[in-house]
Structure 1
Amino acid sequence: MTGEEYFMKQMFVQKIYKYTGQEFEDFFVQIMSASNPNFKPVKAFGKVGDKKNDGFDETTGTYYQVFSPEDLTKSRTISKGVEKLEEDFTKLYEYWNDKYPVKYFYYVVNDKYHGLPAPIYSKIADLSKNPKYETVTINAFLAKDLEKIFDNLSTQDKQNIIGFLPNINMDTINFSALHDVIEYLLGLKLVTNVDEKFIVPDFDKKIEINGLNLPIKSLLDAASYQEGELIQYFKEYRGLADNLKSVFNSLYEESKIEIPESVDNYPNKRFDYILEKCYPKKTSDVQHAILVLMAHYFSSCDIFEEPPEF
């Protein structure tokens, strides 16, 4: 995976975590439209609405309906998700089946890589067993499924969808961008929990222990070459290094809550989470400044785990 491919994937994942409601539906439609020329989005129109159909492919009889709540773990939200699944599917079938026969129905849920609650799968099973719908395959469509489709898009389509694509080939720090990043980070409201650490383990060993992938290793390695400039910068602003240490430690602890170990590929997704949280604005200079800071605090074990012998 190239650095460019890595960042496109990173931006995709961050949008999954960020988007809910209409934003996620629009994101889903963008990807499906780019992937399948036969995909037709259906926009709600006045009181008529979209007839419980957010998009379909009439050539295959495949229909999609989106559900993207802020928090899928709440009991009330789970109940709403079950009710929505039954109502949307039955009304979609009633309206669309005699126009374009329904052969496949996907309940598109932005699960943010956590998986679906059991009651939703149970309702899918109940609907599938109903003789009225015996010719229809009903299933869930999750973040991981959308990611697979995104992965197969052309580079140009991916760029059109995610927008900003940073330049990772930076040789020196832009100190104006660094100042903007630091000012932004110090303004974040975070719960601090900083542990003092006096032993710094081998950089490569720490990457291996934390399960970070090769593209991230390459980014941290490249950024670490500017650490001397960063340390000189810190010398001019007494106390700044410790303040930022607190910020990055808090961001890492926050990422552990948002992305538990049960999530696939969680170490790399935590890295992406911290990186995304640090952007005051998205430019190449800003991104490079963030990576230099992350490399510095990674090497001193203020973000991510240290090897067990330490």
Structure 2
Amino acid sequence: MQFEQRMYARLKFLELMGELCETAFEDFFHRLMCARYPDFLDVRTHGSLGDQGADGLSLYGHKLYACYAPQTVDVPAVKRKLASDLAKALDKRSGQFDTFVFVHNDRRGMHPQIATLLSETDAGHPELAFEQMGNRRLWYECMRLDQELAEEVLGCQIPVQPVVHGVGMDDLASLLQHLRDKRVAADPLMTLPDVDPRKLDFNRLRDEAREGLVRGMRHSHLVDAFYEGSMRTVEHDEVAQGFRLYYEQVRQEWADPEDVLWQLEMYVLGNGNQQPRVQRAAWVILAHFFERCDIFEAPPPGWVGAGVGASA
């Protein structure tokens, strides 16, 4: 899909996430996972058998998926359902899974008490791995679909039309605001961190693109500060995954690394005009995920380039 089509699909996805709950959410989850994975089994209830603790099974991945999509979050009710689903799965589906995936519809992220509940459940079952699948991970699965399958999953056509929202805007809005506020307080004369120029050289980044990333690295520690804490760490990893998936897509469509970087900038900001302070904050974000190697490629061990420097 083209950039504008992905933007349109993102908006339709967010609309759906604001509406879907209970069985409607489960139906959407089944459509998405069946479109993504040929080994996914969309388990339905059947009479007195029920669903035996599973809303979906991955044959090859040995994962069991359980959906929790109430209209409003009721922590005691979720705790009872989680315990019931896990007990049924362990009893009825022994040997069919080694990972239990908690799938939920909370657009704001995971409720802190439910996060604690999952952590405690994980500690009580060392033989199993536990994962969560919420708004961000569901969207990342959508991003991997081709247009025809995405239209089937989202239930709408995806036309080409101008859209000024960035794919990552919802996830990154608070980070952008944080950087806008904190950058002005940072020491403009502070020493730049040591930057391995080989990665810049290896990816053929030069001139303004190279300089923009290096300037962004001056403040990239602010991104780490924003994501400090156990709950923020999970969010940090999910946002990084979004960058990796989007980078993988756009590098297949654009050969020039500067074009790829431009697409990534639109991922953060959209394709509308932004204030200079917001644009500078976006480059701090790009520099951060560049340093983490979530975007662009790390040179192989022992690689020595000619060095493109700041100009060609």
User: Could you tell me the TM-score, scaled by structure 2's length?
Assistant: 0.51
> Aligned pair 1:144/2:136, yes or no?
yes
> Aligned pair 1:120/2:114, yes or no?
yes
What residue is the counterpart of 2:83 in the other structure?
A: 86
Amino acid paired to 2:163: P
Are the counterparts in 2 of residues 55 and 63 from structure 1 also a CA contact under 8 Å? yes
> Aligned pair 1:44/2:18, yes or no?
no
Cα distance in structure 1, aligned partners of 2:165 and 2:154? 23
CA deviations over 1:130-155 (Å, ceiling 9, x no partner): 2xx32210122111111111111111
Q: 1:167 to 1:38 in 2, by over 3 A?
A: closer
Are the counterparts in 2 of residues 21 and 68 from structure 1 also a CA contact under 8 Å? yes
Query: Map of 1:91-170 to 2, 5 A cutoff?
Result: 91-98=88-95, 100=96, 102-112=97-107, 114-130=108-124, 133-165=125-157, 167=159
Are the counterparts in 2 of residues 64 and 108 from structure 1 also a CA contact under 8 Å? yes
Are the counterparts in 2 of residues 4 and 165 from structure 1 also a CA contact under 8 Å? no
Amino acid paired to 2:27: D
Are the counterparts in 1 of residues 109 and 134 from structure 2 also a CA contact under 8 Å? yes
Cα distance in structure 2, aligned partners of 1:166 and 1:39? 25
What residue is the counterpart of 1:34 in the other structure?
A: 35
Amino acid paired to 1:143: N
Query: Map of 1:276-287 to 2, 5 A cutoff?
Result: none
Percent of aligned pairs sharing the same letter: 19
Structure 1: 5+ residue stretches without partners: 170-213, 219-260, 268-306
What residue is the counterpart of 1:264 in the other structure?
A: 171
Amino acid paired to 1:139: E
Cα distance in structure 2, aligned partners of 1:166 and 1:103? 37
Deviation at 1:14, TM superposition (A): 0.7
Q: 1:217 to 1:14 in 2, by over 3 A?
A: closer
CA deviations over 1:183-217 (Å, ceiling 9, x no partner): xxxxxxxxxxxxxxxxxxxxxxxxxxxxxxx8327
Q: 1:217 to 1:23 in 2, by over 3 A?
A: closer
Amino acid paired to 2:123: K
SS at match of 2:61: coil
What residue is the counterpart of 1:2 in the other structure?
A: 3
Cα distance in structure 2, aligned partners of 1:28 and 1:155? 18
Deviation at 1:168, TM superposition (A): 5.3
CA RMSD of aligned residues (A): 2.4
Are the counterparts in 1 of residues 8 and 163 from structure 2 also a CA contact under 8 Å? no
Deviation at 1:68, TM superposition (A): 0.4
Cα distance in structure 2, aligned partners of 1:134 and 1:9? 37
Larger radius of gyration: 1
Deviation at 1:6, TM superposition (A): 1.5
Amino acid paired to 1:216: V
User: Could you tell me the TM-score, scaled by structure 1's length?
Assistant: 0.51
SS at match of 1:51: coil
Deviation at 1:165, TM superposition (A): 2.0
CA deviations over 1:38-88 (Å, ceiling 9, x no partner): 00011001121101100011222101000001122xxxx122112211221
Q: 1:6 to 1:93 in 2, by over 3 A?
A: same
CA deviations over 1:225-255 (Å, ceiling 9, x no partner): xxxxxxxxxxxxxxxxxxxxxxxxxxxxxxx
Among 121, 141, 163, the alignment partner of 1:215 is: 163
Are the counterparts in 2 of residues 105 and 137 from structure 1 also a CA contact under 8 Å? yes
